[in-house]
Copies of this chain bind each other. A is one copy, B any other.
């Protein structure tokens, strides 16, 4: 019988875990202990507070702090867990009202991730930021008012969304990406190139294959020294402010302190019930390591969708239920500089790393039939395991209708659809909407024929 649950962290995973635990069990005592001063907010929405597509910081708060009481959940903010004793199942914490202890039957780690700062000189200067927390976004919104030159180190999803936001605010934006292309954790180079072209056309400077070596200046940045990794050319990019968005790593110190097992991706290892190796201890969201859906290899999602789904499972199970998480497909989308970018499952690169030999169907298609005014070109790539023909991934890039299309591929992956199965997909059709053979289907046709299925 679970009488007390403690959830550490109040992001998407932690807040969902607490709410679902309450939904499952009306009587359990539930406490949330959260280091940040804020109740659950949308981390993914942060870049849009800069561009104004999110009007106010407060709009991002998904669960007003005062609402926890109505669920009979004791939520402590600005409160840090200082020690956990799992043998006595107690947690010590320190908050605005001093220190205290609480005991638990079930403990849920939803401690999230933090920026993994790369080895670049001068990151300790003022006006050098991450873009991960509400406070980061508040500071950056002020920079949008005063800075002229913004250098963003890292051309991943967050870096690119920040680039768009500051570009829209009129700043000179330079993105410095170490790898040969942006967004490589999301799409393959052929797709990234389409995005890069758009980004450059909008007047953002994009330096790929380029290492940021140092943030130069006294207290605050004057420039960022970068080095082209091919040519060796060194350049100093003027910078009033710098954003570092080179990836994150799970926050696991507390979990490690009580002997919770950490997996090869550095996340807290959990099973399908989001249970760790310790009895009564769960983890979910960015701090947790589950498995990639297709290969069942250790995998960390780092995605809001995954966080809420894992949070739900952890919360129900922590409260005595029996929910299961099916594995991470990893559907990712965004819209940048007028282009929708969507990806799901294995990229070609990820497939290589996981030693899955794949074949791909890559087509260009129109979002509407050619006779109907205003259709846009999209590029669709679907990826299949060569030995079985099974759909394992897909990417779509185009000015519209890319993101919603990726959902079909995700469900296809989850349902073990193969190339003939996707070819048999009866897509909807109407002149104002899309053509009779959706590019998704034609991409499958090429592979079906090639694999003689």
A interface, CB within 8 angstroms of B: 12, 42, 44-45, 48, 52-55, 59-60, 62, 303-306, 308-309, 326, 328-335, 340, 342, 344, 369-374, 401, 403-408, 410-412, 414-415, 417, 421, 424-434, 436-438, 440
Nearest chain-B residue to A332 (Cβ)? B428
Q: Which residues of B contact A412 (CB under 8 A)?
A: 411, 415
Chain B residues near A417 (CB-CB < 8 A) = 411, 415
A148 to chain B, nearest CB (A): 26
What are 20 A-to-B residue pairs whose CB atoms are below 8 Å?
A: A42-B431, A44-B430, A45-B369, A45-B372, A54-B431, A306-B426, A308-B437, A309-B426, A331-B428, A332-B428, A333-B430, A335-B432, A335-B433, A340-B433, A407-B408, A407-B425, A408-B411, A410-B425, A411-B415, A411-B417
In contact, A53 and B372 (Cβ under 8 angstroms): yes
Report which of B62, B305, B342, B432 forms a contact with A426, defined as CB distance below 8 A: B305
- Complex Cα distance, B432 from A342, in Å, reads 12
Which residues of the other chain, B, contact A407 by a CB distance below 8 angstroms? 404-405, 407-408, 425, 427-428, 438, 440
Chain B residues contacting A372 (CB-CB under 8 Å) are: 45, 48, 53-54
Contacts A54-B373, A415-B421 given: A428-B344 contact, CB under 8 Å?
yes
Instruction: State A305–B374 Cα separation when bound (angstroms).
Output: 21
Cα–Cα distance between A430 and B401 once the two chains are bound (Å): 14
Question: What are the residues of chain B within 8 A of A406 when measuring CB–CB?
Answer: 428
Question: With A and B bound together, what is the CA distance between A48 and B440 in angstroms?
Answer: 25
Given contacts A42-B431, A303-B429, A431-B44, is CB(A414)–CB(B410) below 8 Å?
A: no
Interface centre among A335, A406, A411, A425 (most CB of B within 10 A): A411
Instruction: Tell me the complex Cα distance, A417–B304, Å.
Output: 24
The 3 closest A-B pairs by CB, nearest first: A404-B404, A59-B371, A331-B428
Evaluate contact between B373 and A432: CB separation under 8 angstroms.
no
- The residue that A404 contacts in the complex, of B48, B59, B335, B401, with Cβ under 8 A, is B401
Question: Are A334 and B426 closer than 8 Å at their CB atoms?
Answer: no
Interface centre among A62, A404, A414, by most chain B C-beta atoms within 10 angstroms, is A404
- Shortest distance between the CB of A161 and any CB in chain B (Å): 9
Of the candidates B59, B330, B428, the one whose C-beta lies within 8 Å of that of A410 is B428
Q: Tell me how far the C-beta of A202 lies from the nearest C-beta in chain B, rounded to whole angstroms.
A: 16
Q: Which of B12, B403, B437 contacts A428 (CB 8 A)?
A: B403
Q: Contact at A331–B426, with CB atoms within 8 Å?
A: yes
Q: Provided the pairs A407-B405, A411-B415, A417-B415 are in contact, do residues A428 and B48 lie with their beta carbons within 8 angstroms?
A: no
Q: Taking each of A48, A306, A431, which has the highest tally of chain B beta carbons within 10 Å of its own beta carbon?
A: A431
CA distance A438 to B330 in the complex (A): 15
CA distance A342 to B429 in the complex (A): 10
Chain B residues near A303: list those with CB within 8 A.
Answer: 429
Closest Cβ–Cβ distance, residue A112 to chain B (whole Å):
15
- The residues of B that contact A405 with a CB separation of less than 8 Å are 404, 407
Min distance, Cβ A143 to any Cβ of chain B, angstroms: 20
Q: Roughly how many angstroms separate A335 CA and B62 CA in the complex, as a whole number?
A: 32
Residues in chain B near residue A333, CB distance under 8 A:
428-430, 433-434
- A371's closest neighbor in chain B, by CB? B59
Question: Nearest-CB distance from A333 to chain B (Å)?
Answer: 4
Q: Are B426 and A373 in contact (CB under 8 A)?
A: no
Query: Nearest-CB distance from A317 to chain B (Å)?
Result: 16
Which one of B54, B369, B415, B424 lies within 8 Å of A326 (CB-CB)?
B424
| Given A308-B437, A335-B433, A403-B433, 18 additional A-B pairs, CB 8 A | A48-B431, A48-B432, A52-B373, A53-B431, A53-B432, A54-B431, A303-B429, A331-B427, A333-B429, A335-B432, A407-B407, A408-B411, A410-B425, A411-B425, A414-B424, A414-B425, A414-B426, A415-B421
